[in-house]
A and B are shown apart, each in its own frame.
Chain A
């Protein structure tokens, strides 16, 4: 039976879905430190698709690749608990300030270093930027086809994959050969929860930077697993430094503003018959309705 080498691209993001009052600084910028950092929700959908392939083709391997600060190793462990086999953290000051193009360039260089891959699976978009650009850009940089907005992998054979993708008002089934990059839509199935045995097995897995920070006994505990989460810096990948980080990003943020709405002079009405009767009359007379 065929064994697939699968790479899942995942990002750790601030949880922008629950931005409280204190999350905004007075100058209109975001106070990232008060927002919890989470596994980008749609990347979990991507991971689930990968695990499903592995369920069906047991010899397959799933490697999660993430680019981010040292702390982003948290999502690699989360991925291991749920079913991934290995994780790679791409971290270096040289990557700081990357826009989507510089991010996808760095990710594609890391992918090139990994020997063989059949399927790269991404989320559709990350909730911190909602750009949905990194997936297609990684595919372009690797020179492979892409299938975006995927909802279900319909079939896999030795040399072909069929994927159902969601359109605005319908669906499409596409067939491609390997290697292929897929971005998974939020309408795809949710990711299965952590597996208790895997949690026990992997909870002390650390990256190099993390193990340097923690105590001796932890270090020994993680020794056996040190190949499971790898940490790569700019010197570990072959790349053109000019295309990385802030300098390699064609887009620049010119300014960031808080949103202020112009308050309107509003008319307060009660929910009684008189007020509502008056309102409806007014709307009809003004030809707004009727």
Chain B
């Protein structure tokens, strides 16, 4: 009762990274609130999955295992969450701001008449005082997210309704093992009690999923290009630099809109969030929405012809110059110095 619950998402039979990230966050929230961390896993052939989840600090793992439950579909999964939450009454529910989480979350929140905050970038526990009524709400979940196209940061609370629900994008929270020896208990749910036959009305006709080709999120070096890179050919220089120093290529939305690279490389508020050791921003002005996805990089180098580009303020090194001149030199001197 009144625990923190994380909906663990399966992606082609693999637990999604964002779910581990949320368990890590959920564990620390549960510690603060002095309650348990619960996880919910829905799919098929889930024997042994607990071994992957317990090290993240899961105390209770609810499993709904049925061949009709994989791949994900809206109504059956909603039905399990709603029925389970009506019994277990979690105080906080977290899910990924993914195609699945953003399909499922609002449906569940509507059925439970409870608030949901999408795309949170921070989650904290805090008290809220309503001065007018002299009422204090203890230990609420502060759901912090950018709003208005990223121009402001809002803190949202749900004072009266439970559960307090939030979605978080992949990469925004850190993933860390809590204790490799941690053991929780598994509760196998009797699926027929949680899902009615009528929930299977939408039929899957076909499905194609590709392996993702780029792994920007886990790369320790990122060479990111913006609109200032100027052309597809110049982006070639970025790929070359990335290959030479061992990194991945990322991009701003303006570069993607201009057709220089594919959208799977977008970094920022509506793209991927990264925190590499080194971020080289080439011809990127540094608008808030882009910074939101890379601000936590350890070292930032900005290459920009405009000395007053906003990104320069948060860069450790600022090279004033053109991408086309600077990058070939970086490649050249990297090679000379590593020979």
Give A contacts to B, CB under 8 Å.
14, 16-17, 19, 23-24, 28-30, 99-101, 104, 127-137, 139-141, 145-149, 162, 166-177, 243, 249-259, 261-271, 273, 275-277, 279-281, 283-284, 288-290
Contact = CB atoms under 8 A, between A and B. Distances in A.
A140 to B, nearest CB: 4
B115 A251 contact: yes
Contact of A276 (B106, B151, B333): B333
B246 A289 contact: yes
B107 interface: yes
Given A140-B110, A258-B152, A267-B318, 6 more contacts: A130-B119, A136-B107, A249-B115, A266-B313, A273-B333, A284-B337
14 contacts: A132-B118, A148-B102, A149-B99, A169-B209, A172-B204, A174-B204, A175-B203, A250-B160, A250-B161, A252-B159, A269-B319, A277-B329, A277-B336, A289-B334
A249 to B, nearest CB: 7
Q: Decide if the interface of chain A is mainly helix, strand, loop or mixed.
A: mixed
A243 B333 CA distance: 65
Contacts of A24: 151-152
Given A145-B202, A276-B330, A267 B158 contact: no
Given A132-B118, A141-B110, A172-B206, A270 B148 contact: no
A129 B147 contact: yes
B329 A137 contact: no
A286 B105 CA distance: 44
Q: How large is the interface on B (under 10, 10 to 19, 20 to 34, 35 or more residues)?
A: 35 or more
Nearest to B328: A276
B71 to A, nearest CB: 8
B131 interface: no
Interface in B87-118: 98-99, 102-103, 105-107, 109-111, 113-118
A257 B337 contact: no
A264 B208 contact: no
Given A131-B118, A133-B106, A262-B314, A280 B337 contact: yes
A210 to B, nearest CB: 27
